[in-house]
Amino acid sequence: MTTPALLPLSGRRIPTLNPGSSPFPHHRATLRLSEKFILLLILSAFITLCFGAFFFLPDSSKHKRFDLGLEDVLIPHIDSNKEGKHLGGHIIHGQGGHDEHRHREEEESLRSKIRADHERALEEAKEKLKKSREELRAEIQTEKNKVAQDLKKKDSKQLPPVPMPKLVGIHDGDPGDPDIKEKRDKIREMMKHAWDSYRQYGWGHNELKPLAKKGHSTNIFGNSQMGATIVDALDTLYIMGLHDEFKDGQQWIEQNLEFNVNAEVSVFEVNIRFIGGLLAAYYLSGQELCNFSISISIFVWFSLSCSGVGRNWGWASAGSSILAEFGTLHMEFVHLTYLTGDPAYLNKVMHIRKLLQKMDRPNGLYPNYLNPRTGRWGQHHTSVGGLGDSFYEYLLKAWLMSDKTDLEARQLYDDAIEAIERHLIRKSNGGLTFIGEWKNGHLERKMGHLTCFAGGMFALGADGSPGEKAGHYLQLGAEIAHTCHESYDRTVLKLGPEAFKFDSGLEAVAVRQNEKYYILRPEVIETYWYMWRFTHDPKYRQWGWEAAQAIDKYCRVSGGFSGVKDVYSSSPTYDDVQQSFFLAETLKYLYLLFSSDDLLPLDNWVFNTEAHPLPVLHLANSTLSANNVIR
């Protein structure tokens, strides 16, 4: 039986069978049946593919998520003149018009976004191009320094625990007397006002402009933001029990203090304020400040390196080194050697001492200037005030800090004080003892505010003086304190001038306008405090309270404390600077003046020239000679 065809035969051409010809072979009929199945399979596959592809097509809204700036590719332009859109040759109105309107809004929104992105990128590029090459280089260097600092933090060794865990006198100091305690609380409030103002208006800057209410810096810090007030004030905050403020300062130091800056700074100022301040904070709190070791090593490496290029002040006698600068490193550097075990610091300051011992001293006096190239003194100008002051102070304090075993330092101090008393100390016609300045064989009868520290120095060095001179030097200290008090008392504001004369009938009075200013200096109050500790004469507390009241009345402003330009004027103008040493020294000495003697007793502590207390070290004299530190 023949298999019926699956497809209709109409239209199919059937070949004519010729007589005698054989019929189609059997395999040919089979092949035609297979072609039908194949054709059917192809058709089925095509239909399946078409319907399947429809389900796999992406959502048309997804293209809106792509923003490559190719507007016309992603969003085909639509002719707004047409009322509808064509689908399969038919025009759809009504709902389609609404969709078109929404589509145009989306298109315009996307174009606006693209345009805004392009404009923003263009502005950013313009800003980058505006930066100078130096600014870009500075940014790159800052990033490099940050990376280097992070690496050093990982590799740096921490300091050992405070080597004297039973340090006495770092807490309390309650005076007992309610009146004195009230005065002490007032000094604490003044410190709080000064600190809070700096915290609000000058944080991170070296100092504060309290009237302008912004940060301030001077060239001694290289105009770099090193947070001088923070480091300088840290130990004062701790002593006064302002521990929250102390933690704020500690945190800033940990996160921001950086000596690796491209600036020329005063080695002297950085040493007494930063190194001294960090050391004191470490000893008082027992906590090593993060960045302490790093900052110390960077600074000391800088200060000890010998480049052969002078960086002294140009005005200092043809670029000479200044006595008070190279001679005021001893205390801090000895402590660095003590803490680190590295003798390099001690070696440097001992080298300075040995060099000075070999030099001739005119009339036994140390001139203020030393030429670093020739190794000879500059002009013969000697002063116990500015340019020379702390050199003599550190001779005495090197002896005290060594637990009175550094006899070499004591001898140098005694010889220097003998020459000073012989050539520089005089009495005025009114009976006031003053310390003048020696200039080229002539005594200038003028005394600076900075020189007033010497009253405290004489009292501090009285014990241990040769012969029977202990009482004499204590009395000399009292006379200097009296003279400096007179310089305050003879002004309208009851604040002392920068310098005052004893000549032509003048007694402890400033003459020149540029000598009539008061910049919150501490030296007079420093002497009051030392004299109080050694005599307990109540007049020193009274004098200190007079000074504190005058400062609070005439120097206090809403944004802190400012110096004044004329202490003889009842309506003074401000210099608009809150000095860092006001918090480090002036307020600290006032606070100690109204505290009991068991707060930082002088048998256990020695203050550097920035009033940062460092503990007495039990070093043998042979230690200083052999440079072997005894722990």
Q: Which domain holds residue 120?
A: 71-78+94-129
Q: What is the pLDDT of residues 47-102, one digit of tens each?
A: 776 666 555 555 544 444 444 444 444 444 444 444 444 444 444 444 555 667 77
Let me know if residue 123 belongs to a domain.
Answer: yes
Q: CA separation (Å) from 343 to 173, 326, 478, 627?
A: 36, 18, 39, 6
- In this prediction the pTM is 0.74
- Span 247-258, mean pLDDT? 92
In a domain, 415, yes or no: no
Tokens of 622: 């042979």
Q: What region does 163 belong to: left with phi over 0, alpha with psi -120 to 50, or beta?
A: alpha
**pLDDT higher for 617 or 480?**
480
Number of domains in the chain: 1
1-12: burial string, b at 16+ Cβ within 10 Å, e else: eeeeeeeeeeee
Between residues 438 and 289, the one the model is more confident about:
438
The one-letter amino acid code at 133 reads R
Residue 448 has pLDDT above 70, yes or no: yes
In a domain, 576, yes or no: no
Confidence of residue 108 (pLDDT cuts 50, 70, 90): confident
- pLDDT over 50 at 154, yes or no: no
Residue-wise pLDDT for 311-365, tens only, equals: 555 545 567 899 999 999 999 999 988 888 889 899 999 999 999 999 999 999 9
Q: Write down the pLDDT at residue 317.
A: 54
pLDDT of residue 534: 98
Nearest residue to 577 (alpha-carbon basis) of 591, 588, 561, 592: 561
Residues 38 and 214: their CA atoms lie apart, in Å, by: 91
- Rounded Cα distance, 605 and 167, in Å: 9
**Which residues carry a binding-site annotation for Ca(2+)?**
609
Q: What pLDDT does 224 receive?
A: 80
d(CA 283, CA 289): 11
Asked if the structure places residue 125 within a domain, the reply is: yes
3 state SS of 607: strand
Residue 220 counted as domain residue:
no
The tens digit of pLDDT for each residue in 585-619 reads 999 999 999 999 999 999 999 999 999 999 999 74
pLDDT (tens digit per residue) in 387-425: 999 999 999 999 999 999 999 999 999 999 999 999 999
pLDDT value at residue 241: 96
**Among the ranges given (7-21, 200-214, 250-264), the one the predictor scored with the smallest mean pLDDT:** 7-21
Backbone angles phi, psi at 524, to 5 degrees: -65, -45
Q: Which residue has the tokens 């501490």?
A: 522
Does residue 119 lie within any of the structural domains?
Answer: yes
The pLDDT of residue 161 is: 59
| Residue 547 falls inside a structural domain | no
Say if residues 621 and 407 touch (Cβ distance below 8 Å).
Answer: yes
| 348 located within any domain | no
The Cα–Cα gap between 269 and 280 comes to 16
The C-alpha atoms of residue 570 and residue 587 are separated, in whole angstroms, by: 24
Give the Cα separation of 159 and 283 in Å (integer). Answer: 11
**How far lies 20's CA from each of 14, 16, 143, 366, in Å?**
17, 12, 104, 150
Residue 456 has pLDDT above 60, yes or no: yes
Annotated catalytic sites, by residue? 269, 389, 498, 523
State the Cα–Cα distance between residues 518 and 520, nearest whole angstrom.
6
Quick: pLDDT tens for 501-550: 999 889 999 999 999 999 999 999 999 999 999 999 999 999 999 999 99
The gap from C-alpha 386 to its chain's centroid, in whole angstroms, comes to 26
| pLDDT tens digits along 270-282 | 999 999 999 999 9
Give the residue among 309, 323, 336 at the shortest CA–CA distance from 617: 336
